[in-house]
Amino acid sequence: MARPRPEPAHPAPPGRPRRFPEGADRAQLIERTLAQYRRYLNPGLARLFQFGGVETVEWAAEGCLVWDVHGREYIDCACGPAIFNIGHRHPRVLAAVRDQLDRMPMSVRTMPSAPMAALAERLAEVTPGDLQYSFFCNSGAEANEGAIKLARLATGRPGFVVMQEAFHGKTLGALSATGRAYYRTPFEPLVPGFVHVPFGDAAAVEAAIGRDVAAVMLEPIQGEAGVILPPAGYLRQVREICDRRGVLLIADEIQTGLGRTGRMFCVEHEGVVPDILTLAKALGGGVMPIGAFTARPALWERMKRDPYIHSSTFGGNPLACRAALATLDVLVDERLADRAGPLGEQFLGRLRELQARHPAVVKDVRGRGLMLGIEFTHRDYALMTSAEAGHRGVITFYTLNNPQVIRVAPPLVITPALIHRAADGIEEAVAAAEELLGSVGAATEGGS
Ligand SMILES: *Cc1c(COP(=O)(O)O)cnc(C)c1O
């Protein structure tokens, strides 16, 4: 079937980006960095790098491509995850940040900040329905912390209905909403009041809504759970239940938002307007860290009474807000959400062929737009495929709550030609993993 292919929106720049300086000692830098990981930073991660055969250090990036210190080129299909929706180092974001950097990077807070105010207005314009007031912070977990506090403040109720296997971040409040016991148990007791129900089951949501529930909180497509799509109509059903039962709906669009699934926000596929929407990851254009929660006006009454009831020193700083403003402009002007749909179909088509050729290794491929996942029959296949794909110049990564799934989520500016190159690399990696590991999936019970 002939499908019109979008033109490259942000073509790779002429020439190569900054290479590792001639004469400098690469081997020494790599060795020292890994030793520092082992000794001062994260020994477990150092081991993981070693297992994956990662004998290098990242060096430069541009558009959809990343280079290591050896000058080897990688197609970024992990996006860190999902932070490079507009590609690495988009020139419009760099220009905005440089302009602000040369003038006033951080706010004194005693005078109004024009970039922060402009970003709040811009978010009200691009978010669905009557979402209007925003608060800015520095990460996804913080955005969800703020949303949780706002829901309690606005309703006077402490409880939340959240989803099993959900990922909302790892600070204590966000972790309380996160649905994987592995990350939760060592830190208990967590914030009380969170009830976890199966994702995709609207009746379970309804049954869990008791008298003290402030909000239902969910990801429209679960990312770290392994790219899990709910049944069609689920979001609309949950919205209807929330309305009927008088509780708020919080949509965590930190991974699904900003064009990733083929719409600016994933809830728009079902015409749903949440009461609070949280963002982070791609909002800073892959240049600055920034998070936000945006809410309907009625929820903001208590926030209006005390301007410091919730605050953050660096949240909404001018550098981050200029980056976010430029990012939203790029997403709209380059129609990147519209690209994600057909490009995602192309990529998913290649992954389906891959599944058909390797049924013993690949259990399922799925996704929406350019938020795709490959589920393997065993987690070792996922780990090995990700490592082997890296050796072939394709960056992927397993999902945090489900190591049996690797995420395929390239920048939305990727081209059809690069998708084929990436898919070739992944296919070779799957074949290599199958050969290296043999029938590990058949020998042991599933993954996890
Ligand atoms: C990554 C992520 C978070 C947490 O964001 P951090 O910036 O890592 O704190 C929260 N929710 C979802 C859906 C995410 O994918």
pLDDT computed for residue 378 by the predictor: 95
Q: DSSP secondary-structure letter at 40?
A: I
Residue located nearest, by CA, to atom 11 of ligand 1: 168
165 lines ligand 1 (CB under 6 A): no
Secondary structure (3-state) at 248: strand
| C-beta neighbour count of 108 within 10 angstroms | 7
Computed over its alpha carbons, how large is the radius of gyration of the chain? Answer: 22
Burial class (CB in 10 A: 0-12, 13-18, 19+), 153: middle
Q: DSSP secondary-structure letter at 280?
A: -
275 lines ligand 1 (CB under 6 A): no
pLDDT computed for residue 7 by the predictor: 46
pLDDT computed for residue 17 by the predictor: 58
pLDDT computed for residue 22 by the predictor: 82
Residues 6+ apart with CB under 8 A from 249: 215, 216, 217, 218, 238, 239, 242, 272, 274, 275, 276
Residue type, 372: L
Residue type, 84: F
Burial class (CB in 10 A: 0-12, 13-18, 19+), 266: buried
Residues 6+ apart with CB under 8 A from 359: none
- The catalytic position among 68, 194, 281, 376 is 281
How many angstroms does the Cα of residue 288 sit away from the middle of ligand 1? Answer: 15
Verify whether residue 167 is a known catalytic residue.
yes
Nearest-angstrom CA–CA distance, 442 and 351:
22
Residues of the chain scoring pLDDT < 50 = 1-12, 14-15, 443-448
Q: CA angle 169-176-158, nearest 5°?
A: 125
pLDDT computed for residue 51 by the predictor: 84
Nearest-angstrom CA–CA distance, 190 and 186:
10
- Name the residue with tokens 């995420």: 407
| Token pair of 426 as six digits | 């992944």
- The catalytic position among 49, 135, 167, 293 is 167
| Token pair of 210 as six digits | 């008791």
